[in-house]
Amino acid sequence: MRTALVVGTGLIGTSLALALTRRGVTVHLVDQDTDAARTAASLGAGTTESPGGTVDLAIVAVPPAYVAGTLAALLRADAAHGYLDVASVKGGPRRELEALGTDPERLRRYLGTHPMAGRERSGPLAATAELFEGSPWVLTPARDTDTEVLNQALELVAHCRAVPVVMDGGAHDSAVALVSHMPQLVSTLVAARLEHADDTAVRLCGQGIRDVTRIAGSDPAMWIDILSANPGPVADLLDALGEDLGEAVRVLRLLESAEPARRAEGAQGVERLLRRGNAGRARVPGKHGSTPAAYETIAVLISDRPGELARIFADAGRAGVNIEDVRIEHATGQQAGLVQLSVAPEAASGLAAALRERGWSLRA
């Protein structure tokens, strides 16, 4: 990739533009707020000059509600060879693009992505080139996504030193409901309890409450968009959390009892909740690089036809396997390449069998 167009030069757009510029890519910056684009340029993220032609990759980093409209306009203008967005929800933008009547041939050149890194602050001044380092970056290719665009996305992720994770768009939206959207609301609700709290209590805030409420400082406008695009799964999770809260209240009331047996039952109930929390917390992975995971690699031969890579990812998705990393070797002068898929060891043999069944050739 030699040239890129970044539309939306806030936190995410400017951060990835900084990373691309550092790797020698010429980045053109556009924002409906010209001050934001100028600020990004002054930080060294690229130029506000128009590309004056088709760029290699257009990256749309505007709030979720404006993603489909922005992409549709870029696609109509043939602004780039490949198109990505980075919105926090994936089902909505694609459906909207289809509903806008986007030519299916052009739609193949679009890939929905989502970097799982961010901050509670918005705008170009909050950006850093290192924002995505070691974090997952989800790619959601459709069955017919152009392989070249998928490769461009992998190049972007590599330039940002993030870790590509390939997923189906719907599975992505369910997963982020659990690991991002529900936590945002819970942090918000805990912080909201402080709004009218007594100063004597607020003065005592230590690191615990800072950790729990950091993301409560996020931009409401952005989160209205995100939650509007994923309300059902988040509401279901909060329903379940409400049951846990009910249980927490029940066992705490037991602890208030004068009867030793009821107090003992209460203590056991509290311990159960705390241990479940320990178990959940233990599953939160460190950033890639800090706790390296041992993956197994499956090598698949592909022909140089459009859509081959997207087809492998779709087949892995159907087999229920998450691809943790991917490397592609193109054999020079040959109409073939080798795709190295890294997966969790327990998933490797199942994935190999599923791919063989679907006609793929695996290299030992």
Ligand X SMILES: NC(=O)c1ccc[n+]([C@@H]2O[C@H](COP(=O)([O-])OP(=O)(O)OC[C@H]3O[C@@H](n4cnc5c(N)ncnc54)[C@H](O)[C@@H]3O)[C@@H](O)[C@H]2O)c1
Ligand Y SMILES: O=C(O)C(=O)C[C@]1(C(=O)O)C=C[C@@H](O)C=C1
| Residue ranges in contact with ligand X by CB under 6 A | 7-13, 31-33, 36, 61-64, 66, 70, 86-88, 114-115, 118-119, 122-123, 222, 226
Q: Does 21 bind ligand Y (CB under 6 A)?
A: no
Strand partners, 361: 301
- Closer by beta carbon to ligand Y, 131 or else 339: 131
Residue 13 interacting partner from ligand X, ligand Y, none (CB closer than 5 to 8 Å by kind): ligand X
Contacts with ligand Y in 79-108 (CB under 6 A)? 88
Residue 215 interacting partner from ligand Y, ligand X, none (CB closer than 5 to 8 Å by kind): ligand Y
How far apart CA 209 and CA 228 sit, in angstroms, is 27
How far apart CA 228 and CA 232 sit, in angstroms, is 9
The answer to whether residues 313 and 140 touch, using CB atoms and an 8 Å cutoff, is: no
Q: Strands, DSSP E only, in the chain?
A: 3-7, 26-30, 55-60, 80-85, 110-115, 136-140, 163-166, 296-303, 325-330, 336-343, 361-363
- Give the CA angle between residues 341, 57, 141 to the nearest 5°: 40
Q: How many residues bind ligand Y (CB under 6 A)?
A: 8
- Can you give 228-252 as a three-state secondary structure string? HCCHHHHHHHHHHHHHHHHHHHHHH
How far apart CA 301 and CA 294 sit, in angstroms, is 23
CB of 168 to ligand Y, least distance (A): 17
How far apart CA 86 and CA 8 sit, in angstroms, is 10
- Closer by beta carbon to ligand Y, 132 or else 360: 132
CB of 89 to ligand X, least distance (A): 7
CB of 70 to ligand X, least distance (A): 5
Please list, residue by residue across 52-82, b when 16 or more beta carbons sit within 10 angstroms of its beta carbon and e when fewer do: eeebbbbbbbbbbbbbbebbbebbeeebbbb
Residue among 1, 62, 80, 116 that touches ligand Y (CB under 6 A): 116
- Closer by beta carbon to ligand Y, 109 or else 114: 114
Residue among 215, 298, 323, 341 that touches ligand Y (CB under 6 A): 215
- Closer by beta carbon to ligand X, 74 or else 302: 74
CB of 221 to ligand X, least distance (A): 8
CB of 33 to ligand X, least distance (A): 4
Residue 166 interacting partner from ligand Y, ligand X, none (CB closer than 5 to 8 Å by kind): none
Q: Mapping DSSP to helix (H, G, I), strand (E, B) and coil, where does residue 137 land?
A: strand
Binding span for ligand Y by CB under 6 A among 40-48, 57-65, 113-121, 343-351: 113-121
Which residues of this protein are in contact with ligand Y, per CB under 6 A? 88, 116-120, 180, 215
